Chain A
Amino acid sequence: MGLRNFRIFRGDTAAGDMVDYQTEVDKGMVVLDVIHRIQAEKANDMAVRWNCKAGKGGSCSVEINGKPKLACMTRMNEYGDDETISIRPIRSFPVMRDLVADVSWNYEQNKRIAPFKPDTSKKDSSGDYRMMQEDVDRIQEFRKCIECYLCQNVCHVLRDHEQKDSFVGPRFMIRLAGLDMHPLDTEDRIPAVKDEYGSGMCNITRCCTDVCPEHIQITDNGIIPMKERVVDRYYDPLKWLARKLTGKSK
């Protein structure tokens, strides 16, 4: 495929520039291969985070020509032969160095979520739980998540409005949905989904769903049903009236 031009962000939180590189690109290469080639030949100390190189680890999230993508699953032939390819770290999280962003905020959110709490009375004498496939299909979709955080990166609430204090973001909304829809889970998660995790912040632009490399229907199958559960609990007019009359909060 010949010699191609790249512009890659080099720097850290304090300062950085887009630096030009030129390197040979072979047939079948993905963007991560190019980054590695430049790293080995021209920039030994260029930082990039990656793991499996097969779209399963979700470590190599970057922005390629402005689009959030996994570098390992983005083929060079998606781009025109004379197109200069620019690569930046994902923007919603602070840069550590070069293409590596500090995603630790996401790990803090996960820790805030109450763990799975199964109904152990449903266990049979041989220690097995019975769940029908059709009852777990929808939560298995959420469990395909590889935690690449591309959805977190494009979420307007987190990216443009920087309201990380009030919304856990799409990744953790589907984590919550997966727990709430689990046939065995006994934890009541709806109050926290509304108050602590900020389900109301999402205004359903579906940007998260568009970038999901696992094609999880984050918005339609995850966030909207969670919003509906919150609405059912708190904004159902009959329930509202009942609360008014009895003075009880629930």
Chain B
Amino acid sequence: MKITCQEAAIISNKKEYKEASFKEKLMLRFHLIGCVLCTGFVKKNSQLTRLFRQARLQYLTDEEKDKMRKNLFSH
């Protein structure tokens, strides 16, 4: 049942993408009871997710960029 901080961090990340299993979440819970450092990380990690949602970033797809590149240099 014991996990390292590295493993705890990975589970925390999975949780941010809603991909942590029930067992993983449980293990993370247990780990956090005794680990101040990871508790801080987990908190900051979920804030990071919130910041991303708030920023509403948009990215161009690779195809769109390819097109741009082609347009740019065919001139």
Task: Answer yes or no: do A and B interact.
Answer: no
